[in-house]
């Protein structure tokens, strides 16, 4: 719950600064825990569900990326240990259209700096 709240505050703040017309926003998180005590999380999937008209998908991707790799201290703390965190989005338009994609993966074996650089390069290449 702390991870969902932390990243949600970052993402909606960034989207507002980017003047995106967000009508509804929610964060869904589900995790996988070890079977034995202390039942630590080994993976958490975070889905950012955004409803709005004319939301710029690159702005949404960048907001999620910035939260995951720079601003959310809860995510940074969890991914520094044994927890792999996957951030994705579901963008729903007023016309009923839906777009979904994974944005970034952090945690064991992931390179947050490389991941952020790759995402930024892809966003820059897209225009």
Q: What is the mean pLDDT of each run of 10 residues along the chain (127 residues)?
A: 96 97 97 95 97 94 97 95 96 92 88 51 49
Q: Which residues 6+ apart lie within 8 Å of 34 measured at CB?
A: 40, 42
pLDDT for the residue numbered 124: 54
Q: What's the pLDDT at 127?
A: 47
Q: What is the pLDDT of residue 126?
A: 45
- Per CATH, domain 2-126 is 3.30.300.20: yes
pLDDT of residue 53: 85
Residues 6+ apart with CB under 8 A from 24: 49, 50, 51, 52
**Cis peptide bond upstream of 38, omega within 30:** yes
pLDDT at 94: 87
């Amino acid at each position: 719950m702390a991870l969902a709240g932390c990243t949600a505050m970052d993402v909606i703040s960034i989207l507002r600064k980017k003047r995106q017309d967000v009508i509804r926003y929610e964060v869904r998180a589900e995790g996988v825990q070890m079977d034995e005590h202390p039942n630590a999380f080994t993976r958490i999937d975070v889905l950012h569900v955004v409803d709005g008209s004319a939301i710029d998908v690159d702005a949404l991707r960048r907001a999620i990326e910035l939260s995951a790799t720079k601003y959310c201290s809860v995510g940074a703390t969890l991914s520094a240990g044994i927890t792999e965190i996957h951030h994705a989005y579901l963008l729903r338009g007023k016309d009923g259209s839906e777009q979904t994609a994974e944005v970034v993966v952090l945690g064991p074996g992931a390179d947050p700096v490389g991941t952020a650089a790759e995402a930024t390069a892809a966003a820059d290449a897209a225009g």
